[in-house]
Chains A and B, each alone.
Chain A
Amino acid sequence: MSTIVLLLITGLGLGALYFLVASGLSLIYGLMGVLNFAHGSFLTLGAFAGWELARRMGGESWGTLIASLLLGMVVGALAAAATEFFLIRRLYNRHIEQVLVTVGLALATVALFDGIWGTDAIYVTAPSWLSQTTEILGARVPNDRFLLIGAAVLVLIGIVAFLRYTRFGLVIRAGVENRSMVTALGIDVRKAFTVVFAIGGAAAGLGGVLASHYFGYVSPQLGGSLLIFAFIVTVIGGLGSLSGAAIASVAVAILQQFANYFWGGTGDLMVVLLLAVVLLVRPTGIMGKKA
């Protein structure tokens, strides 16, 4: 029983990380039709920014952790908004060019991070509570899982509230459904594009700082390794569906944890098989709409 509980909560924690990356990917694809392969770079940059701040302030305090989470969000948001404004905006409806530019940006930023921070993993420090465990139904669950789950739930609530109660949110929801009609109502939908990129980047930046605490280190490859699973989650959830991304994040991460434990480390394989099954049975994903 304790093993099941541990796997479930660890899966939820990992799912929270996937969701923080996938939420931005899904919103960006839903509104703009852009598959952003550079999204992992926002995560890595947020993680390094958080680590740099923690290094300067002393990483063991809660104040430092909160400040590094906020800085990761801001840096991620700025990097994403700049990417949209300077690169993607010129390439809407040019999907091949978008892929080339975002893949190129992802490769270039990893090389840049290698040059600045080196290729080795840098270990992070955190408040001691995060490295301790809490006993739940006999399972000793690492506390950082609760931080991840809490942050992802807050991000989900925040994005849903933003989409439901703000004018920008209304524009984004309408734009996901019919972008040209939003424009035909006199709305400059490009502003919504920048806002969505910034929201996605902020979630990724936050995810970067949290990922560095989940894995215990930050490295230039951190974003790329999570991005692959975030893409899988986005496709399984249904491109453009935030709730689909949330459900798929949890499902994929829990499957991964159980398969790794019970079927000899086959977690990644099971996730890919799940993706194949979903694409065969329901090509639009769990919550995706038919084209």
Chain B
Amino acid sequence: MTESTGATPTVTDSILTVSDLSASIDGQQVVESVSFEMLPVGVTALLGRNGVGKTSTLRAILGLIERSGEVTIAGERVDREPTHRIVQRGVGYVPEDREVFASLTVAENLRLAERNSSPNRRLIEELFPDLTERASQLAGTLSGGQQQMVSLARALVNENRVLLVDEPTKGLAPLIVMDVARALERAAETVPVLLVEQNLQVVRMLAQKVIVLEGGRVVYDGGAEELLGNEALTKELLGVA
């Protein structure tokens, strides 16, 4: 594994710790003994080439796929709990490909996601004013960018201790990408974010720490600037610069 040196942010009281996490889908190993700690503030990016197990790692943390190993949130083990209990501990999840409920309206998508009686509706209205106007529209009829807003809003409508965000800019137009990035930047002011992202411009803008996976294992765990400022290392680990 490539370790960072001077630029690595200090981790104190990590909010999310993953130890020796392995996961499989239909008997096929997709994550292998992954261990890392997430920064208690800001954005930690989980990077890697296509198919290395980034999405599977997020899904394994939530217990959405078969997994072994240890996952702690704020020092408490959660890996023996069902998914809904892990989420109720304060984990917001923005899945790859949005996964909005197409047959529900925007308002129903948000209402479904509310975990308590005092949802953060003001923040949603502020970040995504378009969604307020489209509250009664079926989510399946929204554009890709608007669906991503719904997916993000579903996570941000609750007070979370950590956000798991999976490829939020995938397939979006450049203007929308920046909107999404700004929304995440704003969210990261109050809640730590574990971000899976292919767009390195967005990673540069948001992330303080980077974890790189390859073949289901961690091959880099260190500062974002240290990796992304080093063109050769970035190319070696991510295949792009």
Chain A interface (Cβ within 8 Å of chain B)?
Answer: 170-171, 173-174, 177-178, 180-189
Contact = CB atoms under 8 A, between A and B. Distances in A.
Interface centre among B84, B87, B93, B108 (most CB of A within 10 A): B84
Contacts of B102: 177
Interface in B159-195: none
Contacts of B216: none
A170 B104 CA distance: 8
B112 A187 contact: yes
A170 B112 CA distance: 7
A186 B112 contact: no
B199 interface: no
B99 A181 contact: yes
B115 A186 contact: yes
B88 A186 contact: yes
Given A170-B108, A181-B99, 17 more contacts: A171-B112, A173-B103, A174-B101, A174-B104, A174-B112, A177-B101, A177-B104, A180-B83, A181-B101, A182-B112, A185-B87, A185-B93, A185-B115, A186-B87, A186-B91, A186-B115, A186-B158
21 contacts: A170-B111, A170-B112, A173-B101, A173-B108, A177-B103, A177-B104, A178-B99, A178-B101, A183-B82, A184-B64, A184-B83, A184-B87, A184-B93, A185-B93, A185-B112, A185-B113, A186-B87, A186-B88, A186-B91, A187-B112, A188-B84
Interface of A is mostly: helix
B95 interface: yes
A188 B85 CA distance: 8
A123 B99 CA distance: 53
B154 interface: yes
Nearest to A178: B99
B84 A189 contact: yes
B62 interface: yes
Contacts of A171: 112
Nearest to B91: A186
A161 to B, nearest CB: 15
Interface of B: 62, 64, 82-84, 87-88, 91, 93, 95, 99, 101-104, 108, 111-113, 115, 154, 158
Given A170-B108, A174-B112, A180-B64, A185 B103 contact: no
A187 B62 CA distance: 13
B152 to A, nearest CB: 13
Contacts of A187: 84, 112
Nearest to A183: B83
B108 A186 contact: no
Contacts of A183: 64, 82-84, 87
B103 A181 contact: no
B117 to A, nearest CB: 12
Contacts of B158: 186
A274 to B, nearest CB: 27
Contacts of B113: 185
A184 B58 CA distance: 11
A184 B101 contact: no
A183 B64 CA distance: 9
Contacts of B108: 170, 173-174
Contacts of A177: 101-104
Nearest to B87: A186
A181 to B, nearest CB: 5
A170 B101 CA distance: 11
Contacts of B88: 186
Interface centre among A171, A182, A186, A187 (most CB of B within 10 A): A186
A184 B104 contact: no
Contacts of B95: 181, 184
Contacts of A186: 84, 87-88, 91, 115, 158
A139 to B, nearest CB: 40
Contacts of B82: 183, 188
Contacts of A170: 104, 108, 111-112
Nearest to B62: A184
A187 B64 CA distance: 13
Contacts of B87: 183-186
A186 B88 CA distance: 5
A229 to B, nearest CB: 28
Pairs A-B, 4 closest by C-beta atoms = A186-B87, A183-B83, A186-B88, A174-B101
Nearest to B109: A174
A185 B87 CA distance: 7
A186 B108 CA distance: 15
A185 B111 contact: no
Nearest to B88: A186
A171 B84 CA distance: 13
